Structure 1
């Protein structure tokens, strides 16, 4: 049973709305595929994708906000096989970079396909429920896996991220390390930029990190060029600029709802920001800037 409760309030009286699962599994799949970017932050690429001699069909293939390939598997209720099924398809994906890139090129264009990050592909499992053992298992498997539960309350669909496991990355960006197509040299990572930063900037990042992670359902994931903080979708991305002594933070906010301040915040629509497109960028160089950004950060988290 889900811990999420929804009530209809009329005349000061609260009546609980009972949650339910979808009638058939494909109904859930089609609904999410039609709204995948809004619901999961993933650009939809293909449905029921056949894996050839590997056997089986991947429910959905997509590309997330960070340029990472994603396998999405659905189960109407609880199913112990959904994680192992996703891992089986991940094995196929590791051997079929070119096939996935061709699909991305066809759907999203050449530039997007060329910028795919193969260092740590993701699995997203969507189901009516997961067991405690499922949530523990994803922590020790060693791959990036999200467990997302859903419930239907009348015409309202809820999605809740209940577990998310990060994984060590095989390379920076581009092909997995050891691949015959591996690229070199690797670009400088966000961690290297942070290591090169002054003590003050490191302390400022630590405070920003603590602020974002003070929300227990926000997870941190280090990408190559930035650190992503997300619920189901990214709520913030952070880049480190040691030379400028700045933390550059992109937030999931509509720029039209923010009073922009020159030198501190700007509208990123159409500028191709990494991780969060068309949001608001905030430049934090001091604890005073961080205090000024706190309300915007809170709003971005609430908007996700």
Structure 2
């Protein structure tokens, strides 16, 4: 984003100069107010006290699209302390699961509390910038950490850029790439579905670095900062993939793509893609890419 230049297109062309917020609290307040739209995270609490023993306050607590607990920490500019501070709070969170689930129950209800996914609690750091040492440091940790850089442009534009993303023990290895996205049935049809699942998995993982796979009972999510694809188990010899693509911007093809906005389904995303053969995966690649790009 540091190389990004924005220009107004109305009237005389003028460049919008990037700048930082006047205060850290301004960044925190705006993100908390629009957390689900910006990060795909449901906001739970601000300045949450960790009690007299730890003696700290977590900037923001939230729950992501897959039910993973999230800590969000903010810094106005470049400050390596944001990572260490966030990791300290993340350790506290893992040790206080009951307290967090009570908070979820109070804010979002009993169903959300019963579905909290503790296999991959996340730390999201939002700051004006990071050093190369920060980026290297997060890659050495076995925690799910996202480093996000922000910039204001003019008076009404905010840009967010994912600088680094690690998935805390769920990073994609060469071995992991060979695992199918879902378990298919046995037999000839099962073999074909297994091949299809593997092709989908490789296509989604191959879109770029920093992709995390999150396992839920009903679906497997592929995530950057937010989910960009959810793959469900086979249904009648087809795989259903849900993408964060606006169906109104897609020429819907019966039997291949469907608008499911407002319809109940597992996973996240308003565009359903129905895959029956490996050839369909090639046909869907542009849609996969559009959803991936939107989830940064």
TM value normalised by structure 1: 0.81
Structure 1 residues 80 and 265: CA distance shift in structure 2, 3 A: same
Shift of 1:28: 0.3
Task: Give the superposition deviation at 1:37.
Answer: 0.4
Gap change, CA 1:232 and 1:14, over 3 Å in 2: farther
| Aligned match of 1:134 | 134
Among 272, 275, 280, which residue is 1:289 paired with?
280
For the structure 1 residues 90 and 260, does the alpha-carbon distance in structure 2 shift closer, same or farther, using more than 3 Å as the test? Answer: same
Aligned length: 282
Contact 1:190 1:223 in 2 (8 A): no
Structure 1's unaligned 5+ residue stretches are: 170-188
Deviates more, 1:189-198 or 1:93-102: 189-198
CA RMSD of aligned residues (A): 2.9
CA-to-aligned-CA distance 1:255-300 (integer Å, 9 cap, x gap): 44445445433333344444415x1221212133223323332332
TM-score (norm 2): 0.83
Q: What CA distance in whole angstroms lies between the structure 2 residues aligned with 1:157 and 1:11?
A: 19
Give the superposition deviation at 1:42: 0.2
Aligned-pair CA distance for 1:235: 1.4
> Compared with structure 1, are the counterparts of its residues 191 and 236 closer, same or farther at alpha carbon in structure 2 (3 Å cutoff)?
closer
Displacement of 1:73 after TM fit?
A: 0.2
* 2:89 is the counterpart of 1:89: yes
Give yes or no for the alignment of 1:234 onto 2:227.
yes
Distance in structure 2 (CA, Å) of the matches to 1:294 and 1:191: 16
Deviation at 1:209?
3.6
- The counterpart of 1:220, out of the listed 212, 220, 233, is 212
Are the equivalent residues in 2 in contact too, given 1:161–1:217 (CA < 8 A)? no
Judging changes above 3 Å, is the alpha-carbon distance between structure 1 residues 4 and 112 closer, same or farther for their aligned structure 2 residues? farther
What CA deviation, in whole Å up to 9, does each residue of 1:3-43 have, x standing for no partner?
Answer: 24123155998654221110100000000000000000000
What SS does the aligned partner of 2:18 have? coil
Please give the per-residue CA displacement for 1:83-120, whole angstroms capped at 9, x wherever unaligned. 11111111111122121112111211221111111111
Q: Which position in structure 2 is the counterpart of 1:106?
A: 106
1:156 aligns with 2:152: no
Q: Partner residue of 1:264?
A: 256
Distance 1:296 1:103, change over 3 A: same
